[in-house]
Amino acid sequence: MRIVDLIEKKRDGGTHSRDELETLVGGYVRGDVPDYQMAAWLMAVCWRGMPPDEAAMLTRVMAASGEQLDLSVIGKPVADKHSTGGVGDKTSLVVMPLVAACGVPVGKMSGRSLGFTGGTVDKLESFPGIRLDLDAAAFVSQLRDIGLVITGQSADLAPADGKLYALRDVTATVPSLPLIASSIMSKKLAAGADVIVLDVKTGSGAFMRERDSARALAQAMIDIGEAAGRRVAAVVSDMSQPLGRAVGNALEIAEALDTLEGHGPPEFADFALELATMIVELASSGGAGRVEVEEALGSGAALQAFRRMIEAQGGDTAAFDDRSHLPSASLRRSIASDADGFVARLDALTVAHASSILGAGRERKGDPIDLAVGVVLQARVGDRVAGGQPLAVLHANDEARLDQAERVLRDAISLSPSAVEPRPVILERLLRSSADKPRFGT
Ligand code: URA
pLDDT of residue 367: 78
Residue bearing the bigger pLDDT, 111 or 3 = 3
Determine whether the shortest distance from the Cβ of 46 to ligand 1 is under 6 A. Answer: no
- Indicate whether 149 pLDDT > 60: yes
Atom of ligand 1 nearest to the CA of 174: 6
pLDDT in tens, 185-230: 999 999 999 999 999 999 998 988 999 999 999 999 999 999 999 9
pLDDT of residue 16: 97
Which H or E run includes 442? Answer: none
pLDDT of residue 438: 56
Which of 112, 174, 177 to mutate to test ligand 1, by most ligand atoms within 8 A of the CB atom? 174
Separation of CA 183 and ligand 1 centre (Å) = 6
Q: Are 119 and 89 in contact (CB under 8 A)?
A: no
Q: Same structural domain for residues 227 and 361?
A: no
Residue 41 pairs in a beta bridge with none
Nearest CA to ligand 1 atom 2: 184
The span from the CA of 246 to the CA of 383, in Å, is 17
pLDDT in tens, 40-64: 999 999 999 999 999 999 999 999 9
Atom of ligand 1 nearest to the CA of 179: 6
In a domain, 421, yes or no: no
Determine whether the shortest distance from the Cβ of 213 to ligand 1 is under 6 A. Answer: no
Which of 50, 110, 182, 183 to mutate to test ligand 1, by most ligand atoms within 8 A of the CB atom? 183
The span from the CA of 136 to the CA of 192, in Å, is 11
Instruction: Write down which residue in 299, 321, 343 finishes a domain.
Output: 321
Q: What is the DSSP letter of 424?
A: P
In a domain, 440, yes or no: no
> What does the mean pLDDT of the chain come to?
94
Separation of CA 180 and ligand 1 centre (Å) = 5
User: What is the arrangement of strands in the sheet containing 79-83, beginning at the earlier edge strand?
Assistant: 148-152, 106-110, 79-83, 195-202, 231-238, 426-430
pLDDT of residue 118: 77
Separation of CA 86 and ligand 1 centre (Å) = 13
The span from the CA of 175 to the CA of 166, in Å, is 13
The span from the CA of 198 to the CA of 188, in Å, is 10
Instruction: Write down which residue in 321, 343, 367 finishes a domain.
Output: 321
Q: Same structural domain for residues 127 and 234?
A: yes
Q: Same structural domain for residues 210 and 80?
A: yes
Q: What would the DSSP string read from start to end of 81-118?
A: EEE---TT--THHHHHHHHHHTT--EEEEEPPPPBSS-
The span from the CA of 15 to the CA of 55, in Å, is 10
pLDDT of residue 175: 87
Strands (DSSP E) along 119-194, which ranges?
A: 148-152
In a domain, 301, yes or no: yes
Q: Same structural domain for residues 96 and 164?
A: yes
Provide the CA 94 distance to its chain's centre, in angstroms. 13
pLDDT in tens, 270-302: 999 999 999 999 998 777 789 999 999 999 999
The whole domain housing 56 covers 3-63
The span from the CA of 378 to the CA of 246, in Å, is 9
Mean pLDDT, rounded, for 134-162: 94
pLDDT in tens, 400-440: 999 999 999 999 999 999 999 999 999 999 986 554 555 56
In a domain, 163, yes or no: yes
User: What is the arrangement of strands in the sheet containing 390-396, beginning at the earlier edge strand?
Assistant: 246-247, 374-377, 390-396, 331-336
Determine whether the shortest distance from the Cβ of 181 to ligand 1 is under 6 A. Answer: no
The span from the CA of 333 to the CA of 245, in Å, is 16
In a domain, 96, yes or no: yes
Nearest CA to ligand 1 atom 3: 184
First to last CA, the chain: 27
Separation of CA 156 and ligand 1 centre (Å) = 17
Residue 198 pairs in a beta bridge with 82, 234
In a domain, 432, yes or no: no
pLDDT of residue 164: 95
CA dist 175 → 7, 74, 430 (Å): 19, 36, 22
The CATH number for 380's domain is 3.90.1170.30
Separation of CA 152 and ligand 1 centre (Å) = 15
Percent residues over pLDDT 70 in the chain: 96
Q: Same structural domain for residues 109 and 238?
A: yes
Determine whether the shortest distance from the Cβ of 184 to ligand 1 is under 6 A. Answer: yes
Residue 385 pairs in a beta bridge with 341
Question: What residues act catalytically?
Answer: 82, 161, 168, 183, 187
Q: Same structural domain for residues 15 and 46?
A: yes
Determine whether the shortest distance from the Cβ of 58 to ligand 1 is under 6 A. Answer: no
Residue 376 pairs in a beta bridge with 246, 393
Which of 50, 165, 167 to mutate to test ligand 1, by most ligand atoms within 8 A of the CB atom? 165
**How does strand 374-377 pair with strand 148-152?**
unpaired
* CA dihedral sign of residues 36, 39, 41, 47: negative
Q: Same structural domain for residues 271 and 231?
A: yes
Q: How confident is the model at residue 77 (pLDDT cuts 50, 70, 90)?
A: very high
Q: Same structural domain for residues 58 and 77?
A: no
pLDDT of residue 368: 84
pLDDT in tens, 6-38: 999 999 999 999 999 999 999 999 999 999 999
In a domain, 31, yes or no: yes
Q: How confident is the model at residue 362 (pLDDT cuts 50, 70, 90)?
A: confident
Nearest CA to ligand 1 atom 7: 180
How many domains, the chain? 3
Separation of CA 326 and ligand 1 centre (Å) = 30
The span from the CA of 432 to the CA of 368, in Å, is 40
Instruction: Write down which residue in 271, 301, 321 finishes a domain.
Output: 321
3-state DSSP: the chain helix, strand, coil percent, rounded to 5?
A: 45, 15, 35
Q: Same structural domain for residues 57 and 119?
A: no
Give this prediction's pTM. 0.93
The CATH number for 218's domain is 3.40.1030.10
Determine whether the shortest distance from the Cβ of 151 to ligand 1 is under 6 A. Answer: no
Q: How confident is the model at residue 441 (pLDDT cuts 50, 70, 90)?
A: low
Q: Same structural domain for residues 280 and 346?
A: no
Q: How crowded is residue 417: how many other Cβ atoms within 10 Å of its Cβ? A: 9
* CA dihedral sign of residues 255, 261, 267, 272: positive
Q: Same structural domain for residues 118 and 190?
A: yes
Q: Same structural domain for residues 28 and 92?
A: no
Provide the CA 341 distance to its chain's centre, in angstroms. 33
pLDDT of residue 361: 86
The CATH number for 20's domain is 1.20.970.10
pLDDT in tens, 78-132: 999 999 989 999 999 999 999 999 999 999 998 766 566 678 999 999 999 999 9
Q: What would the DSSP string read from start to end of 285-330?
A: T-S-HHHHHHHHHHTSHHHHHHHHHHHHTT---HHHH-GGGS---S
In a domain, 424, yes or no: no
Mean pLDDT, rounded, for 328-334: 98
The span from the CA of 10 to the CA of 306, in Å, is 47
pLDDT of residue 119: 87
Percent residues over pLDDT 90 in the chain: 88
Residue 266 burial by Cβ neighbours in a 10 Å radius (0-12, 13-18, 19+): exposed
Q: What is the DSSP letter of 364?
A: S
